[in-house]
Structure 1
Amino acid sequence: MDTFCVTREARDAVRTTWGSEKMVMDKVVSLFFLLGQPGHEGREEMQQKILQESEEHHDIIQSDFLDSYKNLTIKTMVIMEWLATYCQNATYAMKIDSDMFLNVNSLINMLLQAPRKNFITGLVAIGAAVSRDPSSKWYLPKDVFPADFYPPYALGLGYVISLDLPNKLIEGAKHVKAVYIEDVFLGLCMWYLRIPLTNQTDQSLFNYFTVPYNRCRYSKLIATTTHSLQDQVNFWKELKKPGPHCQP
């Protein structure tokens, strides 16, 4: 299957659901998709489609690296450089995968009480073991990463940062050995900078495992994985219907 078509479908699902929310509780919300360069096969045709999509929606940022899993650390640092350059008047940014369900209201509610400096939160992994299994997607040999456990890091499916951090992370990245697991790499940069991550006391806000849809629960969580793009769209539409979210 054409992977670009899949991701275009995911971007369109975001655009018609939580990405369509531009003003929440008097706060301006902006949405952007960061892409790298398409692979060699069918590159020109894919690039043409990307340009057409950009003309249509004006929400695509494209950078000069091959868009692949192994290049996610590059992608993440491009995001940080872009935020440092173009978002100096904003307070927070959230990096989130396009196949996630996001409750923007819950996100803003959390941020209204959040620190404006040295703040990074999400689903924080503490004491995560380094995989030494060569067949694992997350394998790192000892000569690349000698320690057996990672310092705390926020899972890459969705995390929030205060916008003083991008410049600090760019500086920290110069002193940290790069690993291709991008959320771990950001955690290593935070460890180097000696800036602790904020672990949410409410562990139900960010979810790695798909939360079965329940109107009340979805009105309180911030982000969760979903089984399909159709679920993502349906859950958002249902949540936006008038009436109380939780029964008394």
Structure 2
Amino acid sequence: MRKQFRVLEKAALVTIGILGLVFIFSRDSAVQQTDELPMGIIQPITAYNKTTQKRNITPVCHPDNNISQVPAFAEQPPHIKDFLKHKHCRDFDFIQNVPGKCGGPSKSGDVFLLLVIKSNPLNHDRREMVRQTWGKERQHLGAQIKRVFITAVSPDLRSRTKLNRLLDMENQQHQDILQWDFSDTFFNLTLKQYKLMQWLDEYCPGAQFIFNGDDDVFAHTDNMVEYLQSLDAAKHLYVGYLISGVGPIREKWSKYYVSPLVFASNSYPAYIAGGGILMSRFTAIAIYRSARELEFLPIDDVYFGMCLQKAGLTPSFHIGFRVNGVSAPSSQEDSFNPCYYREVLMVHRFLPYELLLMWDAVHNSNLICARAPQRASLQKA
């Protein structure tokens, strides 16, 4: 009897020891990785974010491996190969959405100017400054201005989780993020623009005018409203800095390299530089119709030009768009003088702090400029 008791006693002690070890190791394995934010500090906003819809998981789009049989394929840079294999992929889930941004499809006609800003997940400082300056949601001369940023997923796996949570937080606070579940790269800009057009068609079909631009531009949105108020959103409008008579860059070292396998022709249709484009509702609808039938080209502004060409429409030059900055009349003058900016529509390449300075300066009621504003010239599209 005693022997049986001792056996049971030993078995109990062994069991307790094993359970103790399991407990210790399970606590050690719960230590969080440095790339992760502590869940107790920042809860996933998707659990309660009213701006994030329940996600319907889209089936994975498989690469087209048949293209690898084309003789010239093996000579292409990796990003060109990747584009060729996946250019047919268009269905991607939302990570962040703002379905009520325009008040629903039936009320979206109340939005006079929708600002669509292309932004990399990393560019939090740029988004914040745009929100404080030209991208502020407001009414100007009775016209309603709304704002969305379009983005995707960081290609850097180490920072992806943190950046997705950052965008979660931004969207919870500002309700202005559209994010899709694909890699945010230069060659996916066209895909990002296509998903935007889908979003407009579903959630904001009545927005009268759309400014489509980068997050590093100075956009004088007050001037845009004043320019657009005399125009009809039901007619064609597609203006900015016009580029024509050019073709694809064939040098493989260039960021803008386009292989003949991607685009065979040596000439592009006329297009507006992608830093800033102003278009009407009519034209946005026409672009989306064309885009549903045209193969993607990775250069997004050229692709929009292709869509216009297919729809029988043409882009137009507008003097108010300065993609190469503003030049002072002489080397003795400062090109950052607000007098050179108060009558423009868009100027490319601004640092975040410069946006704040210039927006404040052009709205300073005490600003005195030597020459009278040439507003009449800005009324010409």
Give me the TM-score of the superposition, normalised by structure 1.
Answer: 0.90
Within a 5 Å distance, the mapping from 1:8-87 to structure 2 comes to 8-39=124-155, 40-87=157-204
Partner of 2:258: 140
Hey, what's the Cα distance between the residues in 1 that align with 2:356 and 2:367?
A: 20
Whether 1:232 aligns to 2:232 is no
Partner of 1:154: 272
1:147 CA displacement: 2.2
1:215 CA displacement: 2.4
Hey, what's the Cα distance between the residues in 2 that align with 1:13 and 1:153?
A: 28
1:23 CA displacement: 0.9
Hey, what's the Cα distance between the residues in 2 that align with 1:245 and 1:85?
A: 46
Partner of 2:229: 112
Hey, what's the Cα distance between the residues in 1 that align with 2:244 and 2:224?
A: 22
Distance 1:186 1:7, change over 3 A: same
RMSD after superposition: 1.9
Is the 8 Å Cα contact of residues 81 and 167 (structure 1) preserved in structure 2? no
Gaps of 5+ in 1: none
Is the 8 Å Cα contact of residues 239 and 245 (structure 1) preserved in structure 2? no
Report the number of matched residues: 243
Choose from 280, 291, 307 the match for 1:173.
Answer: 291
Distance 1:143 1:62, change over 3 A: closer
Is the 8 Å Cα contact of residues 122 and 163 (structure 2) preserved in structure 1? no
3-state SS, counterpart of residue 181 of structure 2: strand
Hey, what's the Cα distance between the residues in 1 that align with 2:171 and 2:262?
A: 38
Partner of 1:222: 345
Partner of 1:163: 281
Whether 1:206 aligns to 2:321 is yes
Q: Deviations over 1:107-139 (max 9, x none)?
A: 112212334222111111111232111111111
Is the 8 Å Cα contact of residues 81 and 166 (structure 1) preserved in structure 2? no
Hey, what's the Cα distance between the residues in 2 that align with 1:93 and 1:206?
A: 15
Q: Deviations over 1:23-57 (max 9, x none)?
A: 11110000111121233223222211111111111
Partner of 1:188: 306
Is the 8 Å Cα contact of residues 226 and 232 (structure 1) preserved in structure 2? no
Higher relative contact order (CA 8 A, sep 6+): 1
Quick check: which has more Rg, 1 or 2?
2
1:80 CA displacement: 1.1
Hey, what's the Cα distance between the residues in 2 that align with 1:146 and 1:199?
A: 27
Over the matched positions of the two proteins, sequence identity in percent amounts to 24
- AA matched with 1:29: I
Gaps of 5+ in 2: 1-118, 327-334, 372-381
- AA matched with 1:44: T
- AA matched with 2:168: L
Hey, what's the Cα distance between the residues in 1 that align with 2:263 and 2:154?
A: 30
1:172 CA displacement: 0.8
Hey, what's the Cα distance between the residues in 2 that align with 1:146 and 1:213?
A: 42
Hey, what's the Cα distance between the residues in 2 that align with 1:115 and 1:148?
A: 36
Partner of 1:247: 370
Is the 8 Å Cα contact of residues 217 and 350 (structure 2) preserved in structure 1? no
Hey, what's the Cα distance between the residues in 1 that align with 2:183 and 2:262?
A: 22
Q: Deviations over 1:136-160 (max 9, x none)?
A: 1111122322222211111111101
Q: Deviations over 1:68-98 (max 9, x none)?
A: 1110000011111112222233210111111
Hey, what's the Cα distance between the residues in 2 that align with 1:240 and 1:94?
A: 21
Hey, what's the Cα distance between the residues in 2 that align with 1:110 and 1:98?
A: 22
3-state SS, counterpart of residue 54 of structure 1: helix
1:171 CA displacement: 2.1
Distance 1:183 1:225, change over 3 A: same
Hey, what's the Cα distance between the residues in 2 that align with 1:45 and 1:64?
A: 15
